[in-house]
Chains A and B, each alone.
With several copies, the nearest count.
Chain A
Amino acid sequence: MAKVVSVEEAVCLIKDGNTVMIGGFMGCGSPHKVIDALAKKGTKNLTVMCNDGACPKFGIGKLITSGQVKKLIATHVGLNPEVGKKMNAGELQVELIPQGTFAERIRCGGNGTGGFLTLTGFGTTIADGKQVIRIDGKDYLLELPLKADVALICGNKIDKQGNVWYRGTTRNFNVVMATAADLVIAEADKLVEPGEIEPENVVTQSIFVDYIVDGGNA
Chain B
Amino acid sequence: MEDIKGFIAARVAKELKDSDVVSLGIGLPTQVENYLPEGVRITLLSENGIVGEGLIPSADDASLYVVDAGGQPASVLIGGSFVDSAVSFGIIRGGHVDVTVLGALEVDEEGDLSSWIIPGKKVPGMGGAMDLVVGAKKVIIAMEHTNKGAHKILKKCTFPLTGIKAVDMIVTEMGVMVITDKGIELIEYNPEFTLEQIRAATGARLIISPNLKKMAG
| Residue ranges of A at the interface with B (Cβ–Cβ < 8 Å) | 1, 25-28, 51-52, 74-79, 84, 87, 94, 96, 98-104, 106-107, 110-113, 118-126, 156, 159, 161, 163, 166-176, 179, 194-195, 197, 199-200, 202-203, 205-208
Interface range for B: 35 or more
Residues of B within 8 A of A (CB): 19, 21, 41, 43, 45-52, 63-67, 69-71, 74, 76, 78-96, 112, 116, 122-131, 134-135, 160-165
Chain A residues within an 8 Å CB radius of B46: 169
B91 to chain A, nearest CB (A): 7
Task: Indicate if the CB atoms of A172 and B164 lie closer than 8 Å.
Answer: no
Pick 29 A–B contacts, CB within 8 A, sort by A. Answer: A27-B71, A28-B48, A28-B71, A74-B125, A77-B125, A78-B122, A84-B123, A94-B123, A96-B123, A98-B126, A98-B127, A99-B89, A101-B131, A103-B89, A111-B94, A112-B93, A119-B93, A120-B93, A120-B131, A122-B164, A168-B82, A171-B83, A175-B84, A176-B85, A179-B96, A200-B81, A205-B51, A205-B91, A207-B21
Q: Which residues of A contact B84 (CB under 8 A)?
A: 103, 166, 171-176, 203
The number of residue pairs between A and B whose CB atoms lie closer than 8 Å in the complex comes to 207
Do residues B67 and A169 form an inter-chain contact, with CB atoms below 8 A?
yes
Q: A78-B122, A99-B126, A107-B90 are in contact. List 12 more A-B contacts (CB 8 A).
A: A25-B49, A77-B123, A78-B124, A79-B124, A84-B123, A96-B123, A100-B128, A111-B93, A123-B112, A169-B74, A176-B84, A200-B82
A126 to B130 Cα, complex, angstroms: 10
Give the Cβ gap from A122 to chain B, nearest Cβ, in Å.
7
Most buried by B among A107, A199, A202: A199
